[in-house]
Structure 1
Amino acid sequence: MEDLKQREVVHEAQCQEEEVSNEGPSTNSAPPAEARLRRSLLTLPVINLDRLRTAKALVDKAVKLRRVFSIQGPYPVVRAALRARGWVEHRMPRPGPPRRRRRGEDEGDGNDADDSDDDGDDDDDSPEEVEKEDDPDNMYDLMSRMVRNEMTYLYWTTRRDAIDYRTLRKEQMTNHYAKAGTFTTKVGLCVNLRSLQWYAAADPDTFFPRCYRLGAEDEKHAFIEDFRRTACTSLLQCVVERTAGQEEFEGTTDQLPQGHRKPFKRRAGTLVPSRMIQSALRVCQEFLDSLDHSDIDIAMETSPILTEQEWAEFIHNYYRVAHDGAEIEASALYVDSCQAVLKRLREVSPQLVTDGIHNIWIVKPGAKSRGRGIICLKHLEDILGLVDSDPILIKDSKWVVQKYLERPLLVHGTKFDLRQWFLVTDWNPLTIWFYKKCYLRFSTQPYSLETLDSSVHLCNNSIQKHFRPSQLRHSELPEDNMWSCEQFRAFLGGEGREAEWESVVVPGMQQAVVHALQTAQDLVEWRRGSFELYGADFMLGQDLRPWLIEINASPTMAPSTGVTARLCAAVQEDTLKVVLDRRLDRNAHTGNSNSYTSRQL
């Protein structure tokens, strides 16, 4: 009698397999019912009944304990870890093409789970994209068919909109929050961090490079003012540094390998008038006065320091000095005045130390990931022209322009950034789990501001994998362009700065993430039982202070290098320890994840 029941289970599963395919509807017409039944009956003798009993026992236990999961996306580590915990997979249909946003639909209404308008993650088309499942006896496939009518209790997907959140029951978990685009898009960070003063006694200018939406007319004008003012401060720095006879290579000479240091190149016989310095000093002084509110009563009545024509002439001459090496006549007479103003500016402008002298800005489509569409520019007219050429992006305020960190910390003369993971398990109170491990991504080319090529300035693996490492790079840099944080700490130790990892870098990254989430806390649509793992990207200043560049939802888990193969697997396993194991045992080991709540923060 028991064998007959088992055969009925098999028959039903086989019929279901023929009628429903995860690959999509078949183009062939379905065979008659008699043929399907006959084919099923003919295959019954090859079924291993012991295997069926085992499968059914596992399924029954999983259903009883509410351990049915669904995964969409290349997550073999998560799938294996769940199965090891006794979970059974309810297979989801393969996703169709991304949904196009309807005309007039707000950016936050669609796939806002990531810094991407069409991909949903920052994946880099790595080998993990093609997942080959180890299921030689089709046991997992059989169990999946057995739970096809059961409720899924855990959804793990690449895209937030892979499931309808409105239909979820309170006992169902998912790995995304709705409206997370408020901090996982460049536009979201750009806009929301401005309200930080209402959530914390902190200044976003101390950890997030200043940023503007060029599609918004008021922000476009604010950017133009910033560009002009930065040209003035850069000119003052040029005067001081060149007069002091400092050897310069984009402000990073001391970090370059021996043999690659270059003196600043002056263009012989080219002079610009000294009134440039006078104009720059006046503009900077007016800015300082505005911060002191000394101009509060006369600001509306005072004419601009420079007319539009005078600004055009100033910017033209600034390009000649900063980019072409032209000299300023009698500049030595103004060194003391320049130093005095720069000293005051450093007290109120925390980004002055990273601004450099070239006035480079990085222009980004506001909702894309993996470095797509990003370009570095240093001429105002080029930036405005690039944006004005795309009316659709202007209308939707999608273009953002952000000050480029011209003087970052380098490792053996090469630029890098850091990927730091963090997990959010609650928004009230805000509960963040910072991962103890992170990794560095290097450029394939030595750092230089003589070129603005992406191979030098964008460290995304999806960009750098297309370039071969330069022969001029230091021999101690990795061929695969990645380091673990332990390797970086060893490098800092060699510089006598290892202690600053724990005292400066780690707390700086944590505070930046906390502040970004604080400003989005009232905007994210969260639900209890959900969670989400994010990847924050940072650069470091020469003082090791972290600068937040962006936050990615669905960060890539691709084992593209030895470093990521080890760390990506570990962070996925440790995420499950937090969201599953700790539910059953509050004292469960959570791996390399450290928890902080809003009360602690």
Structure 2
Amino acid sequence: SRRTNTSNVRVHSPSAERRLARPQPGISKEVYDPLGLLKDEVDRAKRAEKIFTIRGSFQAVRRALLKRGWIEKYHFCYRDRINEELKKFQHYSIQELLDLVRNKDVADVCKRLIKSKLLASHQVDFYWSYDYDGFRECPDKVKMTKINKIRREGYSFTSKKGLCDASKKSWFQIPGLACMNHPRTYNLVRNGDTSDFIKDFSLTAAMSLLKWIIKNSMTHECKLMSASGKIPLSVFNFAINECYKFIKKSRKEAITDYPEVFEQEWNEFLENYYKIVQFGHHFKQVAGVSEYDMIRKSNYILTHLKEHWAYLEMDGIMNIWILKPINGSQGVGIHICRTLKYILGVIKSNPNRRYIVQKYIERPLLIYNTKFDIRQWFLISSSVPLTIWIYRHSYLRFSSQTYSLRKLHESIHLTNNSVQCRYSKYQKDIALPPYNMWDSTQFKNYLSDIGYPNVFNDIIFPGMKQCITAAVLIHKDKLDRRRNCFELQGADFILTEDFKPWLLEINSSPALHASTPVTARMCPAVLEDVIKVVVDHQRNNKASTGGFELMFDERIHGATLKEQRQAGAPLAKTNQLITHPLHELNNFTDSIQNVPTTSNAVDGEAAEYIKQIGMGLRKTLENLLQILKTEKEKRQLQNN
């Protein structure tokens, strides 16, 4: 067998090289000194800082750099998919490769390998990989190699736990720039948020029961009550009382008139709730109570809940939650859950797996009655100063079956392509492609066809920008402050029926392979445009950035960011959504507009009077109005 030791490079002796390198009239240097020509090319690339290494199958990145005159220093690894000819000749010496340069069929491969071998001891200027090996292979003490990864401390915005933590913060709410819309999420690890989650699950069930009553009063899908009903009316009264207690707590009012509810009472309520919404049971008729009474009380409570529970509409009525492993990916280990008992059972039976639980968005925007999500790319081109770009183009991923909350199969509810590829033969709307994807242009055309031509540019895209910016800002201090780092990431969004985008998760290593005709076209394009930003634009700030547009620049927005962080505070553990900047005080008159009084005239006079009084009396009047408000609501609830 032939020797393949690449460290033993055989070349001509210096005298032989001088004879070979002597210029010959009318003969190209490529003929009489091919090695010298390649050395000159390598030296020019070194001086221009245009040497790169790529780990993995990122052909679009390779093509983009080669087109710009860069030279590749090959990194051969059994995990990398490399050209078969490169594999064949990778162990040849420089002299053996020179002997093959005259063979036109392999000349290009041999030249590329020679240049790579001439760079054996040279640290590259650009390193692209699917992992963090670049930091080990390119030590900063030699040079600050540009690396396509940003190191982070602990859990950050690219982890499910990190986004869970982010949803409990609030300083990043910057009007017009950053606003975090993330389904409420709880960390179910030891010493986590389990007790808070149980409270949320239970209260959401109570709210959902009242919404079920209102819905059935309009659709008449089933009875609310009858003589043969199996659900005691006390279940309805329990839900009313717990929702009313929540309203009073949100207003910071005393609830001493209401006894504490114990776990067993909640368990009994939940069992009856499941029977109603999942199996169609209804209430037992009671003398003196009509369906109209139930509808009126439910409507009254829900009207006041809207002021304090921003998730009321999107929560639906089934109280479905999604359980996800903290370190999971590609849909592995995900459970879509209806009952609290099931969720706690999964956690107990998997003690070595850490989970987060997230409220499932039961009323998403559907296309042809099919669920979808949006994969939106963004690029952090620098952590110091923090600079974030968003890609103007995105793509939609569809489920394989039409949407239903009666069936919780993953083919209906998990839009991840690695999940949906297993169900390509399932029946769905013929208007959707067999590969379950659209690009954003197709989506915009669809929105225009249904009468919303501007909603993507006016609501969806700006909303995604603000969500991403907020998620990154909340973990800004966890980003490594090393210069010359960048990272392309993929954010997953779901839209609610009002076209509002909700951030589900962020992937630090988004799939960039040609899984469908859509990704086959878009993935090479986004990688080419990454090079435009991190190479071309860095060297010439007037250069094109392709499909990327600047979303956040710390040099521009830094002062605003500092103000928000100084004014911010953690959210309450109810994860109630903030809809205004925390540093702004609400106008006091807004807080009394809904105070029940005997006439509208009294409301107006009270508001006008409060505007005129001094700040010294403000607190006293607030307390007085709060007492009046509480007593009035008590009377209204009793009358209803």
TM range (shorter): 0.7 to 0.9
Matched, 1:526 2:481: yes
How far off its partner does 1:584 sit?
2.0
Q: Find the residue that maps to 2:210 and give its secondary structure.
A: helix
Structure 1 residue aligned with 2:210: 236
Report if aligned partners of 1:558, 1:564 keep a CA contact under 8 Å in 2: yes
Report if aligned partners of 1:484, 1:563 keep a CA contact under 8 Å in 2: yes
How far off its partner does 1:207 sit?
1.1
Report if aligned partners of 1:95, 1:162 keep a CA contact under 8 Å in 2: no
Structure 2 residue aligned with 1:564: 519
Structure 2 residue aligned with 1:84: 67
Matched, 1:173 2:133: no
Q: Find the residue that maps to 2:212 and give its secondary structure.
A: helix
Structure 1 residue aligned with 2:582: none
How far off its partner does 1:82 sit?
0.9
- Highest CA radius of gyration, 1 or 2? 2
Matched, 1:73 2:62: no
In the alignment of these two chains, the number of paired residues is 513
How far off its partner does 1:302 sit?
7.0
In 2: Cα distance, 1:404 partner to 1:179 partner: 28
TM-score by length of 1: 0.79
* Residues 351 and 517 of structure 1: CA distance in aligned 2, closer, same or farther (over 3 Å): same
In 2: Cα distance, 1:547 partner to 1:362 partner: 15
* Residues 586 and 133 of structure 1: CA distance in aligned 2, closer, same or farther (over 3 Å): farther
Give the counterpart of 1:272 among 227, 231, 240.
231
How far off its partner does 1:218 sit?
4.8
Q: Mind listing any 5+ residue stretches in structure 1 that lack a counterpart? A: 1-14, 22-32, 97-128, 248-262
Structure 2 residue aligned with 1:323: 278
Structure 1 residue aligned with 2:452: 497
How far off its partner does 1:206 sit?
6.3
Structure 1 residue aligned with 2:358: 402
Give the counterpart of 2:135 among 133, 138, 163.
163
Q: Counterpart of 1:68 in structure 2: which amino acid?
A: I
Q: Find the residue that maps to 2:506 and give its secondary structure.
A: strand
Give the counterpart of 1:419 among 354, 375, 391.
375
Report if aligned partners of 2:71, 2:115 keep a CA contact under 8 Å in 1: yes
Q: Which moved more, 1:425-434 or 1:476-485?
A: 425-434
Q: Counterpart of 2:436 in structure 1: which amino acid?
A: N
* Residues 392 and 320 of structure 1: CA distance in aligned 2, closer, same or farther (over 3 Å): same
In 1: Cα distance, 2:382 partner to 2:266 partner: 50
Give the structure, 1 or 2, with the largest relative contact order (CA under 8 Å, sep 6 or more). 1
Q: Find the residue that maps to 2:477 and give its secondary structure.
A: coil
Q: Find the residue that maps to 2:168 and give its secondary structure.
A: helix
Structure 2 residue aligned with 1:19: 5
TM-score by length of 2: 0.74
The residue correspondences of 1:462-541 to structure 2 (distance < 5 A) are: 462-471=418-427, 473-541=428-496
Report if aligned partners of 1:365, 1:373 keep a CA contact under 8 Å in 2: yes
Give the counterpart of 2:268 among 294, 306, 313.
313
The residue correspondences of 1:180-191 to structure 2 (distance < 5 A) are: 181-191=155-165
Q: Find the residue that maps to 1:408 and give its secondary structure.
A: coil
How far off its partner does 1:64 sit?
1.4
Report if aligned partners of 1:267, 1:326 keep a CA contact under 8 Å in 2: no
State the superposition RMSD in angstroms.
Answer: 3.2
Q: Find the residue that maps to 2:157 and give its secondary structure.
A: helix
Give the counterpart of 1:294 among 246, 253, 257.
253
How far off its partner does 1:201 sit?
6.8
Structure 2 residue aligned with 1:283: 242
Structure 1 residue aligned with 2:505: 550
In 1: Cα distance, 2:356 partner to 2:302 partner: 28
* Residues 49 and 438 of structure 1: CA distance in aligned 2, closer, same or farther (over 3 Å): farther
How far off its partner does 1:168 sit?
2.1
Structure 1 residue aligned with 2:166: 192
Matched, 1:582 2:542: no
Q: Counterpart of 1:346 in structure 2: which amino acid?
A: K
Structure 1 residue aligned with 2:336: 376
How far off its partner does 1:190 sit?
0.7
In 1: Cα distance, 2:84 partner to 2:63 partner: 10
Matched, 1:214 2:173: no
Report if aligned partners of 1:267, 1:325 keep a CA contact under 8 Å in 2: no
* Residues 369 and 456 of structure 1: CA distance in aligned 2, closer, same or farther (over 3 Å): same
Q: Mind listing any 5+ residue stretches in structure 2 that lack a counterpart? A: 21-29, 87-105, 285-289, 561-640
Report if aligned partners of 1:239, 1:331 keep a CA contact under 8 Å in 2: no
After superposition, give the CA deviation of every residue in 1:1-24 in whole Å (9 maximum; x if it has no partner): xxxxxxxxxxxxxx9x92249xxx
In 1: Cα distance, 2:487 partner to 2:112 partner: 26
After superposition, give the CA deviation of every residue in 1:112-138 in whole Å (9 maximum; x if it has no partner): xxxxxxxxxxxxxxxxx8554787432
Report if aligned partners of 2:177, 2:466 keep a CA contact under 8 Å in 1: no
In 2: Cα distance, 1:134 partner to 1:327 partner: 72
Structure 2 residue aligned with 1:142: 114
Structure 2 residue aligned with 1:27: none
After superposition, give the CA deviation of every residue in 1:124-178 in whole Å (9 maximum; x if it has no partner): xxxxx85547874323222211111111111111112453289325531111111
Report if aligned partners of 2:381, 2:485 keep a CA contact under 8 Å in 1: yes
How far off its partner does 1:268 sit?
11
Give the counterpart of 1:447 among 403, 423, 436.
403
In 1: Cα distance, 2:193 partner to 2:412 partner: 29
How far off its partner does 1:430 sit?
2.6
* Residues 573 and 166 of structure 1: CA distance in aligned 2, closer, same or farther (over 3 Å): closer
Q: Counterpart of 1:450 in structure 2: which amino acid?
A: R
Q: Find the residue that maps to 1:386 and give its secondary structure.
A: helix
Matched, 1:355 2:305: no
Q: Counterpart of 1:18 in structure 2: which amino acid?
A: T
Give the counterpart of 1:342 among 302, 307, 316.
302
